[in-house]
Amino acid sequence: MFPLNADSFRHGFYVIGRRGHFLWGTFWGYLRCAWWGVQLGHGCRFHGRARFRRYPGSRVTIGEKCTFLSSPQGNLIGVNRPCMISTMTSRAQVQLGNACGFSGTVIAAFKQVVLGDEVICGANTLITDSDWHPEDPRSGLPLPVIIGNHVWLGVNATILKGVRVGDNSVIGACSVVTHDIPADVIAAGNPCKVIKPLEITSPLAESARGLRLALGAGGAPRR
């Protein structure tokens, strides 16, 4: 409990204002998702105005209790754009798990982008399965991006086409991920490489690992 002084007054004011932003943002968030035909689970929260664009015939599904921070005040680490979730072709699919957090995160699918549960996307992260400009012969083909459960993407991380990140792994700030990253590691850099194994796990990651072992598939999910 804070003592009653100018600091606690400022803090209380900030907390009340933040809750107000969430209420207003969440109202608009659910409305925008309904407009765009985005399937949004219960208990999601929005701060600022997330942008959605679902190409006709494509699918965007978002799990329960996800948080979208789309304004600079939403995350003091520095969000410099709204969250933007889009599908770019009629066969594209974006599937986001439960309890994920997004801060100025851009997710765009020409084919498929899948995120597991409890994925933390730091400020201004980009996840895309394509080089965009499909008409340009210098572009490669779109390839699915699959991010496991309880993955943490550091601020400004970029995940490019065809990448799989295994459960529980951490991707360092400003990393550019061009190849698969296994489960339970810290990886960073451009191009992103494994730095060290990770000893800390979550109950969710533990159960996911148990399932992988039971199925005889260690490490990152298989392509």
Q: By CB under 6 A, tell whether 155 contacts ligand COA.
A: yes
Q: By CB under 6 A, tell whether 50 contacts ligand COA.
A: no
> Which one of 21, 47, 133, 150 is the catalytic residue?
133
Q: By CB under 6 A, tell whether 174 contacts ligand COA.
A: yes
Quick one: tokens of 19? 């809750």
Q: By CB under 6 A, tell whether 197 contacts ligand COA.
A: no
| Residue burial 165-204, b: 16+ Cβ < 10 Å; e: rest | bbbbbbbbebbbbeebbbbbbbbbeeebeeeeebeebeeb
> According to CB under 6 A, which one of 146, 170, 208, 220 is a site residue for ligand COA?
170
Q: By CB under 6 A, tell whether 186 contacts ligand COA.
A: yes
> According to CB under 6 A, which one of 25, 122, 148, 182 is a site residue for ligand COA?
122
Q: By CB under 6 A, tell whether 127 contacts ligand COA.
A: no
Give the SS3 label for residue 219.
coil
Task: Tell me if residue 21 is catalytic.
Answer: no
Query: What is the side-by-side order of every strand in the sheet holding 93-96?
Result: 39-40, 59-62, 93-96, 112-115, 145-147, 164-165
Which positions lie near ligand COA, rule CB under 6 A? 77, 120, 122-123, 154-155, 170, 172-175, 186, 188-189, 195
